[in-house]
Structure 1
Amino acid sequence: MMLLLYVIVLLVSFYLLAVICNRYFIFSLDRIAIKLNMNSDMAGATLMAIGSSAPELFISFIALYKPGSENMGAGTIVGSALFNILVIIGASAMVRKAFIAWQPVIRDVIFYSLSIILLIYSFWDGKIILLESVAFLALYGIYIIAVLQWRKILPYKDDEKDLAEELKEGKNKKTEQKNIFGKFLNGIDLLLDFIFPKSEYYWTTFFISIFFITGLSWVLVESAVGISVILHVPAVIIGLTVLAAGTSIPDLISSLIVARQGRGGMAISNAIGSNIFDILIGLGLPWLVVTIGGKIIPVATENLSSSIILLFATVAAVLGFLIARKWHLNKFSGLSLISIYIAYLLWNILQVF
């Protein structure tokens, strides 16, 4: 009975995440981007990355105040970063082929690499102090400035579908369902329309979306863990799949939506930009809250160090892959990246058995 309940909750959570990301989060994000005169990659690297990465920030704050879980936030963020780079970019490429402007990718890779270097330096002595926490936030501030000014440094043309043109199509049309399950989904749609404000209140819609995305991500992960425990799935598999990828589901859904709309560059900027946010803000902000009072945060480096090095190797491989493909992404590219992630999972599982 509990298994069935967990499955139902899991499926409903997936559905709600997809609907909220598609109908409210992306829509409000586009309206804000137009208002702020931001192009696709700028919106993907900032607004979209920040909004869809809220679950990681939430988990990091919880980890700091949960006894014995001081490294849970760091572990979750390092684990989901690999998923973001390989699976999100790979899945986006499989949805629709695209030519990617190299200039914003180089920008994001540079700052992502700097984020990893700062993370390695902070973990080196096994503790986090106030100055290191401030450095994380300062680097993210510099990244935001770079995003806003990058076209002046390396001019490029945004060939992706214009955001204003996308908005002319309106929100995704809802189709009326006539079967029992369909009527249940229609009921959920009506409830969401009641909760979320009208389209002109896009800032309010944006923040309400982030709130629901965070809550639903937590419910989704807890449901998946419950199913795994009932089915006696080994803990290592739960950690590598459910916990590592679970909080990145909003990033995946959001990236697939914009990739399907022909905005592959925005999807990539979201994937890498989310990783930058997760490291610099997802870790830096909770660490600052604790260290500003004079406390020192201990961090275990045994398992995390190898994962951090792997992140470096992965982003270098993806960049090399894009250069080799002359900045084109297609189904073959996507399948190759996802295959690397699957191979990584299998290798880790075989290490245990």
Structure 2
Amino acid sequence: ARGDKAKWVLTWPLIFLLCTTIPNCSKPRWERFFMLTFVMATLWIAVFSYLMVWLVTIIGYTLGIPDVIMGITFLAAGTSVPDCMASLIVTRQGLGDMAVSNTIGSNVFDILVGLGVPWGLQTMVINYGSTVKINSRGLVYSVVLLLGSVALTVLGIHLNKWRLDRKLGVYVLVLYAIFLCFSIMIEFNVFTFVNLPMCREDD
């Protein structure tokens, strides 16, 4: 089909780059290089993550959207797509417990390791004794909203008799929409002053 051809043309350079730099350890001749496969895949994930954050930052600055809002919307959605697909696959296999554990565990990992490792490197290796400054003073409110969302999600699953169905799916989507609305209003200083206005270049 024409759409498949266009997709192949667009993705061919990236596929070629990845295939030439990451050994396919599923083949017998490359089995002993599995650690190299892991390292190279991790490096490419780091490169793509850096590019994604950079692009999201540029887009947010151009549109006048604070970094925090870009982080909890576009960046969060982009990084959560693999977790969503993994949960979808295991749910279709009848492993609902694994799907819930995956979503909660991945977020705990992102918070504790995803923040702890870069902050630790910055303050102990790159610039020993330095501190990492958080610009947004609305972080406390965001954390409260996050914990409340988790509690309401668990409560919803409990009230639904620990079954994952369409009704529960709509419920958690509504919770996410409410979380986004309140987080965006907080960062735009709707309720109280928590975030400094973005700096703009002079014309």
Counterpart Cα distance in 2 of 1:178 and 1:298? 46
Equivalent residues in 2 for 1:62-211, closer than 5 Å: 179-186=5-12, 188-198=14-24, 199=26, 201=31, 202-211=34-43
1:218 aligned residue = 50
1:204–1:267 distance in 2 versus 1, CA, 3 Å: farther
1:218–1:270 distance in 2 versus 1, CA, 3 Å: farther
The one of the two structures with greater contact order (alpha-carbon pairs below 8 A, sep at least 6) is 1
Equivalent in 157, 164, 172 of residue 329 of structure 1? 164
Structure 2 unmatched ranges of 5 or more:
191-203
Contact persistence 1:217–1:250 (CA under 8 A):
no
TM-score by length of 2: 0.64
Question: What are the superposed Cα offsets for residues 87-120 of structure 1, whole Å, 9 maximum, x if unpaired?
Answer: xxxxxxxxxxxxxxxxxxxxxxxxxxxxxxxxxx
Equivalent in 162, 183, 186 of residue 348 of structure 1? 183
2:65 aligned residue = 234
Counterpart Cα distance in 1 of 2:166 and 2:138? 33
Please, which moves more after superposition, 338-347 or 196-205?
A: 196-205
Contact persistence 1:177–1:186 (CA under 8 A):
no
Q: Helix, strand or coil for the counterpart of 2:145?
A: helix
Match status 1:307 vs 2:142: yes
1:227–1:305 distance in 2 versus 1, CA, 3 Å: closer
Q: CA RMSD in A?
A: 3.7
Please, which moves more after superposition, 300-309 or 333-342?
A: 300-309
Contact persistence 1:217–1:246 (CA under 8 A):
no
Contact persistence 1:237–1:349 (CA under 8 A):
yes
Counterpart Cα distance in 1 of 2:132 and 2:53? 26
Q: Could you tell me the percent identity over the aligned residues? A: 34
Structure 1 unmatched ranges of 5 or more:
1-174
Counterpart Cα distance in 2 of 1:271 and 1:348? 20
Q: Which amino acid aligns with 1:193?
A: C
1:47 aligned residue = none
1:266–1:229 distance in 2 versus 1, CA, 3 Å: same
Equivalent in 268, 275, 278 of residue 107 of structure 2? 275
Q: Which amino acid aligns with 2:173?
A: I
Q: Which amino acid aligns with 2:116?
A: G
Counterpart Cα distance in 2 of 1:191 and 1:205? 14
1:195–1:296 distance in 2 versus 1, CA, 3 Å: closer
How many residue pairs align between the two structures?
A: 178
1:317–1:238 distance in 2 versus 1, CA, 3 Å: same
Counterpart Cα distance in 2 of 1:176 and 1:189? 19
